[in-house]
A and B are shown apart, each in its own frame.
Chain A
Amino acid sequence: MATLIPAPLDIESLRKDFPLLARTVHGRPLVYLDSASSSLQPRPVLAAMEQYYETCHANVHRGVYTTAEEATARYEGARVSVGRFIGAPDPEREIVFVKNATEALNLVARSFGAATLRRGDKVLLTEMEHHANLVPWLMLSDQIGIELRYLAVDADGRLDLSNLDRKLDGVKVVAISAMSNVLGTIPPLQEITDAAHAAGALVVADGAQLVPHMPIDVQALGVDFLAFSAHKMHGPTGIGALWARAELLESMPPFLGGGGMILDVRLDRFVPADPPHRFEAGTPPIAEAVGFAAAVDYLEGLGMARVRAHEEQLTEYAIRAIAERLGGACRVFGPPAGPDRGGVLSLGFRDVHPHDLAQVLDQYGVCVRPGHHCAKPLMRVLGVTATARASIGTYNDERDIDTLIEGLTEAGRLFS
């Protein structure tokens, strides 16, 4: 079979899809380098949501009238689109719509975790987890006394897997970021999952950062749960998804109670609905689901392999350009550019505080995020309280990186 090398993305034309990129800030074009926090929305996503509200909005799963049926079809259709995007074998039953990846991970800890784990059971996390994949487990630990273990982050910003088998001994659940929101590190998920399964543990993957930037096939990865958010992948805020193998979802008790998640209710008991509706209490974010589906359609139109190729190349350019132009003054945390690294560039510039860096960069129209990025334990490992994080999305190009470096240079001058 011939190897197909996809043509590179046409960034110039792609950028025209994103209305917000036409904005200027302080008289300069917007340079949006905060996609790890939240990405921008292309016109087809905005249009799909508007079209939904204008033509068929109604509550789902209730009415028999035409628009209610249409709304339900759009909502359930979105479930299939989102599931197919990550290679879910049975999306109708395996995709649970939630508020965001954080809620998905809370759902796993509260429902699956609380129902299957007992005092003293071990859960393996990593030092580079986002608070979303850490605090729910800490809360569960407070409630039922599970024991948390951690894989360490090495000096290169990669996970130390040298003692993986020992760390996995007796572990019931491995909950791990598929890509660090601080370091860009993409751990070898398949290898970890194989080892975890061999040790009898299930794997919960926080895919909030990985899913928007790479082709994903949950069956190939072998993970048992995958959480992700729409707004980091050109979709709207307010919706995310939890994928889990159907039989796992079947075995789990409800998370939130209310309308829509039951088969029957008496005054003294209730019978929960089947998954995925068992986990979707109350009126769901319908327009957001429509927007989510439009976002994955948009990404599929671009081609995830092309998205990854573009972003990997730009990450490599950024790391090289920063080193060449700023030298030792600017530190980029995380592994060197390569296939196991995403486009998240956490920067330390001399001893200029990230807040001050971000403030100066704003004058250049450059949007970066200063702070601990909801990963305080990792900040302590890195020996800093904060970094300034520039993160790459589909629409970024080399000019954006050049402007970033121009702003950093000015910050260096101001604070020297």
Chain B
Amino acid sequence: MTDLEDLYREIILDHYRSPRNRGELESPPARRVEGFNPLCGDEIVLTLLVDDDQVTDIKFAGSGCSISQSSASLMSSAVKGKTLDEVRGLIRTFKAMMSIHEASLEPAASGGSDEGSHDGHDGHDGHDGHDNGAADASGEAANGLGGLGDIRRLGELAALQGVVKFPVRIKCATLSWNALAQALDEIQA
């Protein structure tokens, strides 16, 4: 697989061409946050509905490259139906995947990664197998699996792993996630 094919995996291109959860929810009641990437001018508008500590609906709008758009689409699919704690865990795991060098994601190296210590403790799970398969959590609750286990839990989102080879693009991949984190901060403030 060339670097380019690794970056533009089929799942990413699929979410780019046919984004899930695109649009805007009425706000209020939905929480609305905007994100900007000042480097490239990409913008995202995230609207999400939280009911009883659970993300009941989420949509994203705005414009951006295939990485930022597919990441937003994958993210929206992954967090819909999750509790706020689960969403926070997912954000941590995703960001860890974005910042660790790919080599350290290999099984042999996973135990030693710095990020493992941040992420190993969020052993929440038991949620439904969502359509988009973002979280096939079955065996992952075990602590101590480190980076690899966490990345498995990311399901389809792991397709964005190739981005770490292209450091400039990490900001594209994390744009919607930062907006999501901001929304959670506002909701839980």
Contacts and interface: CB of A to CB of B under 8 A. Distances in A.
Interface stretch (A224-232, A324-332, A355-363): A355-363
B54 interface: no
Nearest to A355: B65
Nearest to B62: A385
Nearest to A26: B3
23 contacts: A353-B69, A354-B65, A355-B40, A355-B64, A355-B65, A355-B67, A355-B169, A360-B4, A363-B2, A363-B3, A371-B40, A372-B40, A376-B41, A379-B41, A385-B43, A385-B64, A386-B40, A386-B41, A386-B42, A414-B4, A414-B8, A415-B13, A415-B66
A356 B63 contact: no
Given A359-B7, A359-B166, A363-B4, A353 B41 contact: no
B8 A355 contact: no
A365 interface: no
A291 interface: no
A371 B39 contact: yes
A157 interface: no
B34 to A, nearest CB: 13
A370 interface: yes
B172 interface: yes
Interface residues of B, number: 21
Given A355-B67, A414-B8, A371 B169 contact: no
Contacts of B41: 371-372, 376, 379, 385-386
Contacts of A372: 40-41
Contacts of B169: 355, 359
A314 to B, nearest CB: 27
Contacts of B2: 363
Interface of A: 353-356, 359-360, 363, 370-372, 376, 379, 385-386, 414-415
A372 B37 CA distance: 11
Interface string B8-24: 10000100100000000
A308 B69 CA distance: 41
Given A371-B40, A376-B41, A385-B43, A353 B66 contact: yes
Contacts of B63: 353, 385
Given A356-B65, A385-B63, A414-B13, 10 more contacts: A353-B63, A353-B65, A354-B65, A355-B40, A355-B169, A356-B66, A356-B67, A359-B7, A379-B41, A386-B41
Contacts of B13: 414-415
Nearest to A372: B41
A353 B169 CA distance: 13
Contact of A385 (B7, B42, B66, B67): B42
Nearest to B63: A385
Contact of B4 (A355, A359, A385, A386): A359
Nearest to B39: A371
Interface in B97-123: none
Contacts of A360: 4
Contact of A353 (B4, B43, B64): B64
A386 to B, nearest CB: 5
A359 B166 CA distance: 9
Contacts of A386: 40-42
Contacts of A370: 40
B85 to A, nearest CB: 33
Among A355, A376, A379, the one with the most B-chain Cβ atoms within 10 Å of its Cβ is A355
Nearest to B16: A415
Contacts of B64: 353, 355, 385
A360 B169 CA distance: 13
A354 B66 contact: no
A379 B8 CA distance: 26
Nearest to A360: B4
Among B39, B65, B67, the one with the most A-chain Cβ atoms within 10 Å of its Cβ is B65
A386 B42 CA distance: 8
Contacts of B69: 353
Nearest to B64: A353
Contacts of B40: 354-355, 370-372, 385-386
B95 to A, nearest CB: 20
Interface string B79-91: 0000000000000
A37 B65 CA distance: 21
A359 B4 CA distance: 8
A363 B4 CA distance: 8
Nearest to B66: A356
